[in-house]
Every structure is written in C-alpha cells, then in structure tokens.
Amino acid sequence: MNDDLVALGARIDRTNELLQRMLAEVAKTPSTHAIFVDAGYLYAAAGRLVAGTEDRRSFDLDTEGLIEALIDRARTIFADSRLLRVYWYDGARRRIHTAEQQSIAELPDVKVRLGNLNANNQQKGVDSLIRSDLESLARHRAISDAALLGGDEDLVSAVEAAQGYGARVHLWGIEAPEGRNQAEPLLWEVDSQRTFDLDFFKPYVARRTGTTYDATAAARPTRDDVRFVGAQVAAKWLAARGREALVDLLPGHPYLPGSVDQDLLVEAEGLLQYSLRGQADLRRALRDGFWEHLRAQY
C-alpha cells in the first residue's frame, strides 16, 4: 500500500514538473497581434465624423497614413507583442481591385481581402472573410490578440470563434457624432473596447473641396521632387530634435508615428504648395525621402 502511494506521488510530481516546463515554454512564446479593418465601417464612420458625410466620393482618406497610425497605436497598446499584419477588408465589383485598393495592397504588412459590391454599393461577404481569417489565425495560434475596427453585429460570430481558440479580441471604434455606430451585441462580446476620436482621424480625412492646397492649381510634382522635399524636412527634423530622437524613431522603420507623419505632410505641402492628400504614391515617396536622409545620418 505504501509502495503504491509512493509511486502515485512520484507520478504526480512528474506530471507537475512537465506542466511547469510547458507553462515556462508558453511564457517564452512571444505574443503576436493583428489588426482587422472593416473598410466599409471605417469610411462611413470616419467620413461622418470628420467630413460630415459617409459618401466616399466626397472626401479623401489617406489610407497609408491611417494604417501607419493604427500600427503605431497597436504598438503602444500591445507593447510586448509583434505585429503579424494588417488585414484590410473592402468591397469591389467582381472582386477586382480598384486603384486605391491596389495601392493599399502594396503596402508592407498589409493584406487586402475583397468581398463583392451589390448594385446599391453595399458590401457582401466581408463579414465572412473576417470570421474566416480570425478563426483560422486563432486556431493555429498565429495571434494572441486581434484588434478589430468595425461595428457590424454580424461580426459577433467572428469574435466568438476567435475567442473559442483562446485569442483575445479588442474592438476599436470611431467616435460617433451622435448615438452609437457599433452594435451592442458586438460590444458585449469583445474583451476590450477603444474609441478613436476626431483628433486621431482629422489628419487623414479631407473633404475634396476643402484641401489647403489645390492639387489642380499647379503641376503635379514628380516622385523625385517629393522625395527630395522629404529629405529636406528630415534634415530640419533632425536638427531640431537631435540624435536621441533619431535613435528612438529608427526601430519603427518603415513606419512613422502619427504625429511625425502628420508634421511631415504639413511641412511638405507647404514647401511644394501642392496637396498630397489622397496621393498614395507621392506620400510614399515623401516618407522614403524622409527615412533615407535619417538613416544616412545614423
């Protein structure tokens, strides 16, 4: 009898030892997060908040700058986690990329997933794409946290599916001028909620009739022209802030913090006397010039 108890105790000790080792290995595994953006919700809510309209044709959205700002915010929120990628969900007729969707798809760490658009320009199939990706990534332990920018009640099943595999889902929303723009059942299901206000989106949304500089009033600058201006702004930035600020900025390459990116845009538009809003290729050239100068000084 005593021998049996001793053997049982030894097995329990061995089991506890193995469990502790397993938990230690899990603790060493780096956390990973991904950002899921429902572009239909984003355009409607951000357009309403900043431009007073949900009509995409009435305003420009600096998608590249906004994506970088979202990545930067996620880096702050999930401080000990690495970014897997940004998933951008939108609709397109026959699922053929528009020029803007193509430019978004070319961005680093961004994957564009397209549903269909019906005759009323309503997205179809986007919610199922989000659910499929969320569930698959959670099931394969590819992510530990998901930041979901959306508001449709149909996303509840996607949240539940991801949570069922142990992932935490954090709902990101856009401030509503009045009432709510996210379904209550969705708010109830997520692990945390965060709302971005007018100040966050204002740099990235501009009514097409109200830009500071008229892009049609002057010849469109070349990418080389804009890259040169980016380097000029970088030199000014470095002179004002010093090498310590540069050391802090470099680990984020190729992304710029939202505040730095906005200052770069405003300064460059002033030098060029030309609006870069909605001009993804020129915005990219501007950031390239900025980074090239800074990295050459390091």
pLDDT digits (tens, 9 = 90+) for 169-196: 999 999 998 888 999 999 999 999 999 9
pLDDT of 27 over the 60 cut: no
Q: Are residues 197 and 66 in the same domain?
A: yes
41 and 68 together in one domain: yes
Q: State both tokens at 239.
A: 């002179």
Q: State yes or no: pLDDT of 93 exceeds 80.
A: no
Report which DSSP code applies to 175.
-
The structure tokens listed for 184 are 């209550």
Top-confidence residue, 296 or 120 = 296
Please state, as a whole number, how many other Cβ atoms lie within 10 Å of the Cβ of residue 3: 7
**Does residue 137 share a domain with residue 102?**
yes
Q: Which of 159, 179, 207 is the last residue of a domain?
A: 207
Do 108 and 58 reside in the same domain of the chain? yes
Structural domains of the chain, count: 2
For residue 135, tell me if it sits in a domain: yes
Question: How far is residue 79's CA from residue 273's CA, in Å, rounded to a whole number?
Answer: 38
pLDDT for 296: 85
> Residue 211: what pLDDT?
46
pLDDT of residue 196: 95
Does residue 218 fall inside a structural domain?
Answer: no
Least confident of 22-31, 157-166, 253-262: 22-31
Q: What is the pLDDT of residues 96-111, one digit of tens each?
A: 888 888 889 999 999 9
Residues 182 and 56 in one domain: yes
147 strand-pairing partners: 35, 170
Please tell me the predicted confidence (pLDDT) of residue 165: 94
Q: Is the pLDDT of residue 9 over 70?
A: no
Is 217 contained in some domain?
Answer: no
- 163 and 203 belong to one structural domain: yes
Residue 73 one-letter amino acid: R
Tell me the average pLDDT across 75-92: 93
Q: Is residue 160 part of a domain?
A: yes
Residues 251 and 125 in one domain: no
Same domain, 186 and 280: no
Per-residue pLDDT averaged across 251-267, rounded? 81
User: Would the pLDDT of 31 be above 60?
Assistant: yes
| Residue ending a domain, choose from 207, 234, 268 | 207
Which residue range forms the structural domain that includes residue 275? Answer: 223-297
Does the residue 213 lie in any domain?
A: no
Q: What's the pLDDT at 214?
A: 54
| pLDDT at position 245 | 80
pLDDT > 90 fraction of the chain, expressed in percent and rounded: 43
Does 203 share its domain with 228?
Answer: no
Comparison of pLDDT for 82 and 18, the residue scoring more: 82
Answer whether residue 287 shows pLDDT above 50: yes
Q: What is the mean pLDDT of residues 73-79?
A: 93
Same-domain check for residues 72 and 150: yes
Please indicate, yes or no, whether residues 90 and 192 belong to a single structural domain of this protein.
Answer: yes
- pTM (two decimals): 0.66
Instruction: State the burial class of residue 27 (Cβ atoms within 10 Å of its Cβ: 0-12, 13-18, 19+).
Output: exposed
Identify the band that residue 276 occupies on the pLDDT scale cut at 50, 70 and 90: confident
Residue 214 resides in a domain: no
Q: Which of 156, 173, 207 is the last residue of a domain?
A: 207
216 in a domain, yes or no? no
Q: Are strands 192-196 and 145-149 parallel, antiparallel or unpaired?
A: unpaired
Check residue 266 and give its pLDDT.
Answer: 82
Residue 36's domain is classified under what CATH number? 3.40.50.1010
Residue 265: pLDDT band with limits 50, 70, 90: confident
pLDDT tens digits for range 124-176: 788 899 999 999 999 999 999 999 999 999 999 999 999 999 999 999 999 99
Continuous H helices in 94-203 = 99-105, 126-139, 156-164, 184-189, 198-201
56 & 201 share domain: yes
Mean pLDDT of the chain, nearest integer: 85
Distance in angstroms (rounded) separating the CA atoms of residues 130 and 159: 9
Please state, in angstroms and rounded to a whole number, the distance separating the CA atoms of residues 84 and 146. 10
Q: Is the pLDDT of residue 231 over 70?
A: yes
Is 60 exceeded by the pLDDT of residue 51? yes
- Is 88 a domain residue? yes
Q: What is the DSSP string of 54-118?
A: --GGGEEE-HHHHHHHHHHHHHHHTTTEEEEEEEEEEEEGGGPPPHHHHHHHTSTTEEEEEEEE-
